[in-house]
Amino acid sequence: MTSLPTHTPYDGSSKLFTIGLKPLALADWIEVDEHLLPFLAEKQRLYAEMPGTVFVEEDGTRDAQREVLDLLEAHLPRAFPETHRRASGGVEVIGAAGNPEGDFAKAPLVAASLLVQEDLILMRRGEDGWRLAAGSLCFPSSWSLLEKFGKPLQQIHAPVPGFGPGTRPAELINRMFDGLQGQAVERYNWSIQSGDALYHPLSNVERNERAASRPSRFADGDANAHAFIRVERQTLRKLPVSGDILFTIRIHLDPLAALAHHPDRATLAPAFAAQLEALDIAQLDYKGLTSDRDRLVGVLNQMANAA
């Protein structure tokens, strides 16, 4: 039986191209599910094959990385005793492989990343604002860690319609980062991709080329068979010692066809379709949905009518 989606922000509760931050209880900071070991195995594969692509760090960030690892090691055995246990070297995931080899593997953020399904990004305040100072990004949602490394928020978000330098959302995000104290916050983002690949990068050059040609994601036209909903659960938490901000990204991948089995599909499917229909051309191009939006809306409307 197909499992139901864990999160459905496309129901209108988390609209695309909005900030949408909400308070988050620290007890709910990290998510663990039955995909933990496959996610960690995929991280191990990526670390072995392309460590310089999925991990970056500035000099002077190791103490903050250690702070992240310490927070996770304190939280995980208490919150998830069935999957995480204390060991002589700290905390381990039951049934997971050991840490990778290489100099990069000595980074505490790498060790931290292999305890959780989330990707982990460290943001540090500088003269130009908050910049990406270190990160483990094994499951990018159409962006490149190397392209964003060292850049401030306004440049990181430059390709996002309505969020470029000088826009009100860009200013609001910087203020929110500045104002973040002991509380944690979360937001959701979502997109649609062809296939179920967790590692889903896309550089700015590739994004521009895709927008220019606007190719379909689904070569045979069968979106219902090949489309996967990619939900990002994002959290922000200020580290108490370093003052850096930890940005976590947890990916959930669900077949679009799974919505047909959802008990709330009669309201969920048309709400999803309405979200897609509300996107303008720049937003559709950014999400890579220009050629497929109408096709996807049709599939969702069929689900709703069959309920």
The average confidence (pLDDT) of the chain is 92
The pLDDT tens digits of the residues spanning 56-112 come to 999 999 999 999 999 999 999 999 999 999 998 899 999 998 888 888 889 999 999
pLDDT in tens, 175-187: 999 999 888 999 9
Q: What is the pLDDT of residue 277?
A: 97
Distance of CA 260 to the CA centre of its chain: 25
pLDDT tens-digit series, residues 279-292: 999 999 999 999 99
Q: What is the pLDDT of residues 17-37, one digit of tens each?
A: 999 999 999 999 999 999 999
